[in-house]
Structure 1
Amino acid sequence: MAKKVKKRAPDFTLLLSTLLLVIIGIIMVFSSSWPEGIKTFNNGYYFLKKQLFAAGLGFVALLFFMNFDYRRLKKMSWFIYIISILSGLLIFTPLGDTKKGARRWVNLGFTTFMPSDIIKLGSIIFLAAYLSNKKEKIKNFTKGLLPALVIVGISCGIIYSQKDLSTTITLAGTLISMLFVAGMKISHMFFLMIIAGLGLFKAITDEEHKYRMKRVTSFLDPFADKIDTGWQAVQSLYALGSGGLFGLGLGKSRQKFFYIPEPYNDFIFAIIGEELGFLGALTVIILFFLLIWRGVRIALNIEDLFGCLLATGIVALITIQSLIHIGVVTSCIPPTGIPLPFVSYGGTSLILYMSAIGILLNISRHVPIDRS
């Protein structure tokens, strides 16, 4: 009779840092969305209720994937990827919903969701499966790398067609990180970087999207045009600056009163800095650092290549998106709308990221190291 293998415990530090970020997010979404809730919905609790509901579903998803053998995702990768791509194509059907000039949502009547979040996770799972099957061919451009780039191109192309350059960059960076870890040639890496740089330059200077160029020029000196193009960056810096070391106090932000656009989403880190101060903002950064560190540790120590690449993709996605959000809020990079994982308002994003952490926690159960 075969001896039953005892299940290892999941990585506790990873789980705790994730849950703390979600709790901080719920509190800060409530605080930063109160004025908008009162003005638009005559209900200050509107955004809080939706975020709590999403966090509940996200927690259930996290527990499910934490106990779902991640290796089974490899067999299901084709199905998952097709479903994610089809969800993105729904944008171009009558179900597609346009908000603030961008068609990025799918309206099912009883709820709306952003397919880009589903595409991100689906692409990571599918590419991890592909690369683990083609590990001997990844250094060959035509047989290994080129088909992988087709996967990257399809995924990023659908998101770019939604006029979402920041998410396109985030996903492209994530998938290329996985290619690098899988063992692609450094010469191929440099070639990809040049192509990506040229593509980014074309996207920014495109005549159809002049607002992107305005964002770049305003970033160079936001105070030169602080009433128009530099408004977001200036108001964000005001929020961070007025917070000082200890902050103005929870709920006492001034910039959330319609100075910063979507303070509960794209600029939530600025409200954290204003209300909780430098120490509050630093706490959030430390929690992200802990999450990323444990994720990297899992990726380095898992013996299965699929698990390594899957963990790499999840960690790279969280890292890149967090850096872009904090970089925008602190005016280190040009302004662009991208939420802070686990913290910003957004049901689809929260559920998908908590699902991704669940997968990462399951991978950690197969790592022969201390998980405390």
Structure 2
Amino acid sequence: MLVTMSIDYHIYKRWTPWIVLITLGLLVVVLFAGADINGAVRWIRLGPLSFQPSELAKYVVVLYLALLIDQRKGKIKKFAEGTIFYLAIAGVFALLILLEKNLSITAIVMMVAFVMILAGGAKISHLLSLIPMGLAAGMGLIFIESYRLKRLTSFLNPWADTSGDSYQLIQSLYALGSGGLFGVGLGNSRQKALFMPEPHNDFIFAIIGEELGLIGCIFIICLFIFIAIKGTSIAVKARDNYGYLLAIGIISVISIQAIINIAVVTGSMPVTGVPMPLISYGGTSLVFNLSAIGILLNISRQGKEEELN
């Protein structure tokens, strides 16, 4: 974060095409030489470390769309040359991620692209006309894979199979419920010690709810709301359109992930495997999220310098 905060964000314009090519290459490599971790082949082994290219891809899409929308200002209002073109660019990354059988990050990439295109000035009618198609595609992708369909059915009726596909969700709800208003105390969670597998990953919010209670959950939610509001303010005050789009994209990635994670943990949507940004365990995710926040801070600093001048 300290490194990216000190780098002029305009430098990324020059390097974005190369970063895009490298990222696409990594997304292809992981399909053929990826490491199997917990049944998913989404990582590249680098000695004792593992690297998840799809985490990088989320922010590379932000960099690339910010560059293209800024360079092609006159095209954003057009349907084919604007909305469809930019969604197709994001779709290339999304398709490669989908081939990893990672529907959650695929959806996040497309949602972030949707937000950036809207923020870039696309016609709302163009975007609204594509929503039914997007929803239909999403449902189709769920139904063609049995494990995704099981996740959907376990979400609709979690108590039908409490020891199977619904197990993690049930334990999450138990954790949240047992936390009450103030929680059982930091480090005193029974769920993480006895029942919930890998609680430090996607279901960390449930453990926060158990140990710190409703108050702790509200505090975490307020932190993400603060980040979203502050990030939007930075975007609005950015010195140029490129900085504005970058800031919107970064905030969209963090906010959408947080919303999905909290919704999953509270049983408001099917289990997806999306980590809570900045909190869940995971080196790749944390590194890229902090790096992105560093870029956001650089945009903020340059915006303030512009105001002073």
TM interval, short-chain normalised: over 0.9
Q: Distance in 1 between matches of 2:83 and 2:159?
A: 45
Match of 1:106 in 2: 44
Residue ranges of structure 2 left out of the alignment (5+ in a row): none
> How well do the aligned residues superpose, as a CA RMSD in angstroms?
1.6
Q: Is the 8 A contact 1:138 1:182 kept in 2?
A: yes
Q: TM-score scaled to structure 1, two decimals?
A: 0.79
> Alpha-carbon deviations, 1:314-338, whole Å to 9, x = none?
0001010000000000001111211
Q: Distance in 2 between matches of 1:173 and 1:116?
A: 15
For 1:156, which of 84, 94, 105 is the aligned residue?
94
Q: Secondary structure at the match of 1:250?
A: coil
Deviates most, 237-246 or 217-226: 217-226
1:122 matched to 2:57? The reply is no
Counterpart of 1:105, as a letter, is W
1:268 matched to 2:204? The reply is yes
Q: CA deviation at 1:221?
A: 2.4
Q: Distance in 1 between matches of 2:16 and 2:92?
A: 15
Match of 1:318 in 2: 254
> Alpha-carbon deviations, 1:16-67, whole Å to 9, x = none?
xxxxxxxxxxxxxxxxxxxxxxxxxxxxxxxxxxxxxxxxxxxxxx111111
Q: TM-score scaled to structure 2, two decimals?
A: 0.95
Q: CA deviation at 1:118?
A: 0.8
Residue ranges of structure 1 left out of the alignment (5+ in a row): 1-61
Q: Secondary structure at the match of 2:275?
A: coil
Taking the TM superposition and a 5 Å limit, the aligned residue runs for 1:1-372 are 62-94=1-33, 96-206=34-144, 209-368=145-304
> Alpha-carbon deviations, 1:255-282, whole Å to 9, x = none?
1135223200010000011111111111
| Percentage of matched positions with identical amino acids | 44
Q: Is the 8 A contact 2:66 2:245 kept in 1?
A: yes
Moved over 4 A (4+): none
Counterpart of 1:80, as a letter, is I
Counterpart of 1:276, as a letter, is L
Q: Is the 8 A contact 2:87 2:113 kept in 1?
A: no
Q: Is the 8 A contact 2:183 2:212 kept in 1?
A: yes
Counterpart of 2:29, as a letter, is L
> Alpha-carbon deviations, 1:72-129, whole Å to 9, x = none?
11121111211221121220233x1012322101012231111111111111101100
Q: Is the 8 A contact 1:246 1:277 kept in 2?
A: yes
Counterpart of 1:252, as a letter, is N
Q: Distance in 1 between matches of 2:157 and 2:80?
A: 44
